[in-house]
Structure 1
Amino acid sequence: MQRKIQVINVQKMETMKNVSLLILTLLIAFNYGCDEELVYDAIEEANPVIESFEPTSGSYGDEITIKGDHLGSANMIYFGDSLATIKYRISNNEVVAKLEKGSVSGYITVSNTVGSVSSASEFTVVYAVPTIADFTDQQVLPNSVFKIEGDNLEVVYDVYFGSSKANIVEKTDDFFLVEVPFFEEDEEPANVSLSYNNNGILEQVQSIGKISLYRILPSFSVIPNQGVTGSEIVFEGENLTLIDEMLFNGQSASFTVNDDGTELVVILGEDLFSVSASEVTVKASYFGGTQEEMLSESFEVVVPTVNYYSGIKLNSGC
């Protein structure tokens, strides 16, 4: 009976030992997966040494393992002239760097507080070429939001419609949302072009589909010729929702437009003008500031004045 109890106790001890080892293994694995500062060796401050790196070529976002000595204290890593992200410091002999957008081919340079060293051979950056998904020829309004789909769009710097640069509203790896710029009629129909970095050289790819503009213009039928600062003045017309700015002597005034685009109300802020009465120019700007229309060259702005009188006694009734 006593021997049986001893056997059971030994089995329990072995089980507890195995459980402890399992927990320790899981903790080590968890720390390895979550901690990007994985330096287990004592870090000796000295000039870094690069013995090898792999792979020897890669694209934006790839991780490159660099091996050598005194790498655990690395604070900067360059691929050519491009700064990389230090992703993991595995040990004093191994570090992992991530290629960033715009990286160029060249020698790998590792620096720490003591000094720096460059690799004996060059790293080759392989550049992804963006592509634009086919779309049918279409007409769009200037300043409207247009969706561009494709592949490898993360390497794109700028988007053009013809020769006019578009404002990028949203960007992901597989689509763009851009504001369609105004471009001249002689460029219609225009290709959509994407500019990207090809080993330090900006190149472009073009869409097969082409874009034309709905050339709907704002028009004014009622233009006031006078206004008092601090008050509202009303302009009437058609397509006034296309207006981006109302400019009084070049200064932008606040305004609102009704839903059908037939009425535009300007608030003449008191900070726009400093003289008691003046004639100013009034312009309407639209299509992202690329087009302006002169509405008045002699709009009269009246600034109310306050008169102060002295020597007047008020009868208080007492």
Structure 2
Amino acid sequence: MNLVERDAACWLRRMGRSLSALVLGTLFLGLACGRGAAGPGGATAQGSSPATATAQAPIASSNFVGFEDPLSENGAWVALTTMAPQGTRFEKNNGALPDSAIGPSTNHAGARTTAAVPTDHYSEIVVGHVGLTNPGQIGPYVAPLVRVQTSGASIDSDYMWWGTQGNGDDNYLYRIDANGTSYTATKLLPHPPFNDGDRVRLIARGPVIYGIRNGVREFIYNTGEDLNKVHISYSTGTTGMLAFVPVGRPLTDATIASWATGPAPVSSGTWASSTFAGTENPLDEGDRWYPLPFQNGAGAPYSGFKKSGGLAIGLDPSHNASGVWSIAPPAKQYSEVTLGTVASGGGGPLVRIDRANNGQTGWLLFLFADNPGGSGIYKLTPDGNFTGPLFSFTPTIVAGDKWRLTADGNTLTASRNGVAQFTYTTDGSYPAGDVGIEAYTPAFTFAAWEGGDPAGATTSPTITGFTPSSGPVGTNVTINGTNFTGATAVAFNSVSASFTVTSATAIQATVPAGATTGPLSVTAPAGTATSSTAFTVVPPPTITSFAPTSGPAGTSVTINGTSFTGATAVAFNGVSASFTVTSDTAIQATVPAGATTGPLSVTAPAGTATSSAAFTVVPPPTITSFAPTSGPAGTSVTINGTSLTGATAVAFNGVSASFTVTSATAIQATVPAGATTGPLSVTAPAGTATSSTA
């Protein structure tokens, strides 16, 4: 009996969706095609718990400082010419952007690195500026590229994460199939619009392509299905970037601020576990999970799972399958699930998944809630089928039960709550591989999972807590747990940190530059532990504006910005000022005596922010001279000095006089009736000046 055959309707729906991918001859004409936002192969990130891929330091990078056309940087770049028949190239102008906009809509600025990049790699851009594109409109786009073909019949082919601001029709993960003179573009997965400042990393790892935006996995797609299509998938290549500006739009509408490339994450340790705490869509957990490929040629790759409410929930309406690639388990391995909701559907643990296979593989212990008698051992085959049950039994399926499938040589052992239920001898297929999970319909969920080396559960690290739970870059954090001895890495939301192992149960780590809010992880010889709660990285303060922008000592100034909570100092051009923090985004400060014109600064626990504009300190007025020096009432007197603008009063030995401010350095005043011999005074917004002579 074949599992797929039990739900022909869902099977047909999957096939129908797979046929909706439209191959385009010209990329940016806004044609409707591709899958929906939660379609096969991936899903738009909906969760609140960021988890990122951990990659090594960049192999090559550029901030594109200076000017150069075409972009070369001493031979670091080679132009991609297939998508630019009229010769559009990247130029460097304190950013990378197209050097021309030439119609008709097929001229793209493209470049690939000449650095030696491994087969599994990432390409990352920071969006400098990308203009707004509305539905049905040809607009500007930018993209990182992976698996760029450098020669042969498929030269310039690649995978790209193409994005613009707004809901443009082409916000998609694409596969580009090129031959040196022409290309076609296949939409694979939709994604939300890009925003200026986004850090967009596209990763190619084995047959899987996935995207991390600002530290959060946004989609993941298994390209295994491509092999039986008209165009093949690309398993090798290099990295690069692409940009497009339509005629009539500024070239700066497709500006890439920086670019970097390096190795993709690699497996570490032999055991892992999860309680599925938090919220993620798709399921990621620090680059732990990947979806399996589905039926080659006819189906679509699995979308995988999401986690919500302490459960792992399938994204596809029928079957869902995911493997764990954060570890490299030995051939003797196990996968164990704790059942969540089990009212209908089915599922169970997977072992011996070949992550490099372009079709699904592995051995599955399937627990069938809809028909318990159909439960048993199934073989996942690369053609997309579930062969079996090869061994059948009728289990009692109860939420909270732990079901384990262990592979030792050709022997599979199924256990429930630590008690062996049966063994099965395989045909020898799949002698090693990854562990994972499989579920039939989103109604069958998992409350926890563990797997890998059977000895790993007793030696793998765990994180039980950490203090403090928040702080800025540079904060010293104590991580508590077990089995920390020999730890090789600590990361804050996948950003590597410096650390010291103080005991088997404690690590002292420092929040690294570039860290963002998210889970902590500790990698030790027996595996990687990830915290169930997030460490909150307190960002440094910023000053966005202040008002008024000028005034004398004593003026009350409102400073606007971010992360002001806990501010310890405010200064006007280096002179300390009294202040009150009224909110996380506002401070009320008083211009101090002795302040001079210059920038404002705010010091908070996470650092010091300095304004980009200067506050102009208006100095008090001065009287340097007056003429004539004597005369009767009614005499017109010219008073010379400084900072006289805005003067509100003039007096002759204390008797108020009529006056006119003729400039910042001169006042014309009339000696008033009743005036007596004595000094002159001028009152302005910044104070009162009195003459030194009478």
The two structures have a TM-score, normalised by structure 1, of 0.31
In terms of fraction of residues, the more helix-rich structure is: 1
TM-score w.r.t. the length of structure 2 is 0.16
